[in-house]
Amino acid sequence: MKELVSGILIGLIIFLVVIGVNVTPLILITLLIGGFYFFYIAQGTVKFENIGTDIRLGTDITFEHIGGQDNAIKELEEALEFIIKPEEIIKMGIRPLKGVLLVGPPGTGKTLMAKAAASYTRSAFIATSGSEFIEVYAGMGAKRVRQLFNDARKKAAKQNSQSAIIFIDELEILGGKRGSHNSHMEYDQTLNQLLVEMDGISFRTDPRILIIGATNRADMLDSALLRPGRFDRHVQVTLPDKVGRRKILDIHAQNKPIENENILDDIAAATFGFSGAHLESLTNEAAILALRENTNSITERHFNEAIDKVILGEKLDKKPSHTEVERVSVHESGHALISELLKPGSVSSLTIIPRGRALGFMRKTAQDDQYLYTREELEGDIMVALAGAAAEEIKYGNRSTGAASDFEQSWELAMKIVETGLSSIGVVNRKDTPEEIMYKECKEIISILEDRTREMLINNQRGLFSIAETIVVEESLNRERFLELLQ
């Protein structure tokens, strides 16, 4: 808008100059108005722009719409009692709770929880993000914080509500440790203002304000923000487990024609590590695929394809050359063969249809959620990762760049073995152990496993080549076809 007005004004002045009008008074008046406007913005009397998003009271997001976060919701509900029952809190002489910090990975439902909290307490709700306070002009961030609190109070009054919830996403940007930023004076002033506003919150004044902060880097927050009386209630919002994923799938599948609800059990089992946002996207993608095929209902196949899409990205139109396709087939067959030999039943399907950054992909069958690994299991995963390049080497006598991410993954897994004290050097302290020793041990682990993988592939060379040759023609193999070829 500002750009448009300036453009029109400049155009008008040039036009007047061309037709011979004296424009000096017009320029002076414009400068005068501009000067006043800037002055008032700097004083904070004119709103630069609204901070945060206003969400109306009674927003229809409730805790019922959030899956897999039962513990987090329970903890948050407890904290919200402070808003719902102020008299009791005051009577008991309890220090009111001013801030709740939701800590967890992206897409796990932190924003949803804040919205549901507003619904639950019938509070006015205003949502913003830490990055909205980062300004080029010194002092603007602090003004924006003041404005945020004023807006919350006004909105509560307008909505006739006794309380307001301010949600600040990416709190680490606004509340990072003081002195840690380059332009630290500006950041520090903004944070100081937030601390001042929080200290000013009182339960005896109207409206009662609760701040809900969200971050996935609680370690970056300034300790002053975390001390009692500020964000002293921390709620962990974690990635959902299998039961949680099933609930989230149910929530997002509610308005979609699913062929058979029971397939969601398999999908929940196959999506270990997915966040709520991933699962929402998954149901959406499955519905889009069904629509594209003009089918009336969404089937398990649509869901499975949507999983690949969410993990790897959209199918690519680009077609690799025939030589590349052959190499990718050998590579993927290597992964699949070693996986099946080490853990029978572990291969669900493999494909050489390019998707996202991958030219091919082997999908594992659904397993139970796993949080602990033995050395043998980690070694197995390393062998599966190394098997792609090893298979290429057996077939062509050399490797390609296609194995770069496999090597990265195997190195990370080897590092995990060393760091968790499962390697031959025993228990180590990451900080005190020289890089050289860690490096040597990882290298040793990978080298031994590389030999083992190669040997296993050579011993099963016929199966390897038969799978590779078939997949060049058929592009994708499901489990049954894969087993048939293996035998």
| Catalytically active residues, by annotation | 332
User: Where are the strands (E) in 281-420, listed by range?
Assistant: 347-351, 361-364
Residue 336 to residue 338: CA distance in whole angstroms? 6
- Is 169 an interacting residue with respect to ligand ATP (CB under 6 A)? yes
Residue 478 to residue 487: CA distance in whole angstroms? 15
- The stretch near ligand ATP (CB under 6 A) out of 25-33, 107-115, 415-423, 458-466 is 107-115
User: Where are the strands (E) in 170-326, listed by range?
Assistant: 208-215, 231-236
- The stretch near ligand ATP (CB under 6 A) out of 25-33, 77-85, 105-113, 189-197 is 105-113
Total number of residues that touch ligand ATP (CB under 6 A):
19
β-sheet bridge partners, residue 165: 125, 210
Q: Which tokens in the block code for residue 110?
A: 């932190």
- Is 171 an interacting residue with respect to ligand ATP (CB under 6 A)? no
> 3-state class of 210 per DSSP?
strand
> Whole-number minimum distance, CB 213 to ligand ATP, in Å?
11
Q: Which is nearer to ligand ATP, 190 or 216 (CB)?
A: 216
Q: Which of 280, 392, 441, 450 binds ligand ATP (CB under 6 A)?
A: 280
- Is 220 an interacting residue with respect to ligand ATP (CB under 6 A)? no
Q: Which tokens in the block code for residue 464?
A: 């390897």
- Is 173 an interacting residue with respect to ligand ATP (CB under 6 A)? no
Q: Which tokens in the block code for residue 140?
A: 């603007």
Residue nearest to ligand ATP (CB): 276
Q: Which is nearer to ligand ATP, 35 or 106 (CB)?
A: 106
Contact at 8 Å (CB) between 314 and 325?
A: no
Q: Which of 57, 80, 168, 214 binds ligand ATP (CB under 6 A)?
A: 214
Phi-psi region of 476 (alpha: psi -120 to 50; beta: other; left: phi over 0): beta
Q: Which of 96, 107, 229, 356 binds ligand ATP (CB under 6 A)?
A: 107
Residue 316 to residue 358: CA distance in whole angstroms? 9
Q: Which of residues 424-483 bind ligand ATP (CB under 6 A)?
A: none
Residue 234 to residue 232: CA distance in whole angstroms? 6
Q: Which of 26, 42, 224, 277 binds ligand ATP (CB under 6 A)?
A: 277
Report the candidate in 441, 436, 429, 452 with the shortest Cα–Cα distance to residue 382: 452
> Whole-number minimum distance, CB 355 to ligand ATP, in Å?
22
Q: Which of residues 37-76 bind ligand ATP (CB under 6 A)?
A: 66-69
- Is 285 an interacting residue with respect to ligand ATP (CB under 6 A)? no
> Whole-number minimum distance, CB 169 to ligand ATP, in Å?
5
CA distances from 348 to 22, 241, 289, 343, 445 (A): 79, 21, 20, 12, 28
Q: Which is nearer to ligand ATP, 107 or 320 (CB)?
A: 107
Those residues with Cβ within 8 angstroms of residue 27's Cβ, 6 or more apart along the chain or in another chain: 13
- Is 334 an interacting residue with respect to ligand ATP (CB under 6 A)? no
Q: Which is nearer to ligand ATP, 76 or 201 (CB)?
A: 76
Site string for ligand ATP, 108-127 (x = CB under 6 A): xxxxx---------------
- Is 248 an interacting residue with respect to ligand ATP (CB under 6 A)? yes
> Whole-number minimum distance, CB 114 to ligand ATP, in Å?
8
Q: Which tokens in the block code for residue 215?
A: 């971050």
> Whole-number minimum distance, CB 360 to ligand ATP, in Å?
29
Residue 152 to residue 148: CA distance in whole angstroms? 6
Amino acid of residue 439: Y
Q: Which tokens in the block code for residue 16?
A: 């007047």
Taking every pair of C-alpha atoms in the chain, what is the biggest distance, in angstroms? 93
Q: Which is nearer to ligand ATP, 220 or 483 (CB)?
A: 220
Q: Which residues bind ligand ATP (CB under 6 A)?
A: 66-69, 106-112, 169, 214, 216, 248, 251, 276-277, 280
